[in-house]
């Protein structure tokens, strides 16, 4: 493998190993929920990464509509794919945590429902990209969709503040009395950092693949013409 | 199911999903690189003829 790919992969590997150490060994066991609460250390960073990914989609889509440069479209498509991967992880790990704590896998409360809608929006975004045959038109449609779709992200984030939900209240920036033990907060920060590095690596790899694929298409047309 | 089983399923899903996605990107990249190599070779051959 090319060295330029190997360095970010190794960096992510080390960051994830550190995150696993903190989540399973350093962080204390939560008193009421027990060990299942450790899902939190990867559930929250996955949600953060999906928000970040959809933010990149939004910014890259605006840049694509302004400049028409294909590289922005490739960046938006790459980030959307990674965002869908992480929001899927959120939607799977959430119920795994909910079942032993709430005694149900799923409930249609505001946070869960808006998260599910976010997942549907970006699944539709990826479907739109693959079903429109005119590539340039598809890219423009997707860019508009990517910008509008991002509107759901602040709604998901604010849902536990705006509505009364079964989902836990925010642990950071929440009401008085909310918050985490210092060791738990430290672990969460390490995990957030590790997942951000992982996101950057995946985005870099996916973007490079997209660029190489575009080059390949150009080369094919050039040779056959 | 015990608490640990749910914890295990959640973590297994996270790493399997990320690993499969990385594998998918790697496969796609090596396929395109191989195709580019073949295309370049074909191009040189036809230029030679």
A155-195 residue pLDDT tens: 999 998 888 777 777 666 656 656 788 999 999 999 999 99
- Taking CA atoms, what residue in A is nearest to B45? A223
Query: Do the domain assignments include residue A36?
Result: no
The rounded percent of chain A whose pLDDT value lies above 70 is 95
Instruction: Indicate the DSSP class of residue A39.
Output: G
For A104-132, what is the mean pLDDT? 93
Average pLDDT of span A202-224: 88
**pLDDT-derived band of residue B11, with 50, 70 and 90 as boundaries?**
very high
Q: Does A221 touch chain B (CB under 8 A)?
A: no
From the CB of residue A204, how many other CB atoms can be counted at a distance below 10 Å?
A: 17
Which is more confidently placed, A126 or A6?
A126
| Domain assignment present for A59 | yes
pLDDT, position A1: 61
DSSP class of residue A151? T
CA dihedral of A60, A65, A68, A71, whole degrees rounded to 10:
10
Reported as half-sphere exposure (CB side, CA atoms, 13 A), residue B21 has a value of 23
B19 at interface of A, judged by CB pairs closer than 8 A: no
Nearest residue on chain A to B3, alpha-carbon basis: A36
Q: What is the mean pLDDT of chain A?
A: 91
Whether the predicted pLDDT of B49 surpasses 60 = no
Residue A15's pLDDT band (boundaries 50, 70, 90)?
very high
The count of structural domains within chain A is 1
Residue A176 within any structural domain of the chain:
no
* Closest-approach residue (CA) in chain A for B42: A223
Contact A191, A197 (CB under 8 A): no
Q: Give the integer Cα–Cα distance in Å for B44 and B49.
A: 9
Mean pLDDT of A98-111: 90
pLDDT score at A5: 79
- Range of the structural domain that residue B6 is part of: 1-49
| Distance in Å, alpha carbon of A204 to nearest chain B alpha carbon | 11
- Name which residue leads in pLDDT, B4 or A47: A47
Tell me which residue range forms the domain holding A132: 41-167+181-224
User: What is this model's ipTM?
Assistant: 0.84
| CA of A43 vs chain B CAs: smallest distance (Å) | 9
Name residues 13-42 of chain A within 8 A of B (Cβ): 33-36, 38-39, 42
Q: For residue A122, what are the contacts with CB-CB under 8 A and spacing of at least 6?
A: A54, A57, A80, A83, A84, A87, A149
The runs of H, that is alpha helices, within chain A are 3-21, 40-67, 70-102, 110-131, 135-149, 152-162, 182-224
Q: Is A15 inside a domain boundary?
A: no
In a domain, A193, yes or no: yes
Q: What does the alpha-carbon distance between residue B44 and residue B34 come to, in Å, rounded to a whole number?
A: 16
Instruction: Give mean pLDDT, residues A74-84.
Output: 97
Number of domains in chain B: 1
Sign, CA dihedral A59-A216-A82-A137, equals positive
The shortest C-alpha distance from A71 to chain B (Å) reads: 17
Contact A53, A68 (CB under 8 A): no
Chain A residues with CB-CB distance to B11 below 8 A: 39, 42
pLDDT of residue A199 exceeding 80, the answer is yes
**Do the domain assignments include residue A94?**
yes
Could you tell me if residue A12 is inside a domain? Answer: no
Q: Which two tokens stand for residue A212?
A: 């190489």
Full-model pTM: 0.90
The mean per-residue pLDDT over the stretch A215-223 comes to 81
């Amino acid at each position: 493998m090319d060295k330029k790919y190997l360095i970010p992969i190794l960096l992510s590997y080390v960051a994830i190993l550190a995150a696993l150490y903190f989540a399973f060994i350093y962080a204390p066991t939560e008193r009421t929920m027990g060990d299942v609460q450790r899902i939190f250390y990867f559930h929250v960073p996955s949600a953060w990464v999906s928000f970040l990914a959809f933010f990149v989609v939004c910014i890259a889509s605006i840049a694509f509509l302004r400049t028409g440069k294909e590289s922005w479209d490739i960046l938006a498509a790459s980030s959307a794919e990674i965002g869908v991967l992480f929001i899927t992880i959120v939607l799977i790990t959430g119920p795994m945590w909910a079942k032993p704590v709430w005694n149900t896998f799923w409930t249609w409360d505001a946070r869960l429902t808006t998260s599910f809608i976010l997942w549907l929006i970006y699944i539709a975004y990826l479907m739109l990209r693959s079903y429109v045959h005119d590539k340039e038109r598809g890219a423009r449609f997707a860019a508009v969709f990517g910008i509008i779709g991002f509107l759901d992200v602040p709604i998901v984030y604010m849902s536990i503040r705006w509505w009364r939900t079964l989902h836990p209240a925010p642990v950071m920036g929440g009401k008085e009395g909310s918050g985490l033990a210092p060791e738990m907060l430290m672990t969460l920060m390490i995990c957030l950092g590790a997942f951000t590095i992982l996101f950057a690596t995946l985005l870099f790899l996916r973007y490079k693949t997209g660029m190489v694929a575009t080059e390949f298409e150009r080369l094919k047309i050039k040779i056959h013409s | 199911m015990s608490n640990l089983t749910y914890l295990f399923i959640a973590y297994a899903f996270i790493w399997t999903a990320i690993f499969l996605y990385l594998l998918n990107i790697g496969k796609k990249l090596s396929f395109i690189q191989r195709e580019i190599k073949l295309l370049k070779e074909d191009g040189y051959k036809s230029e030679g003829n």
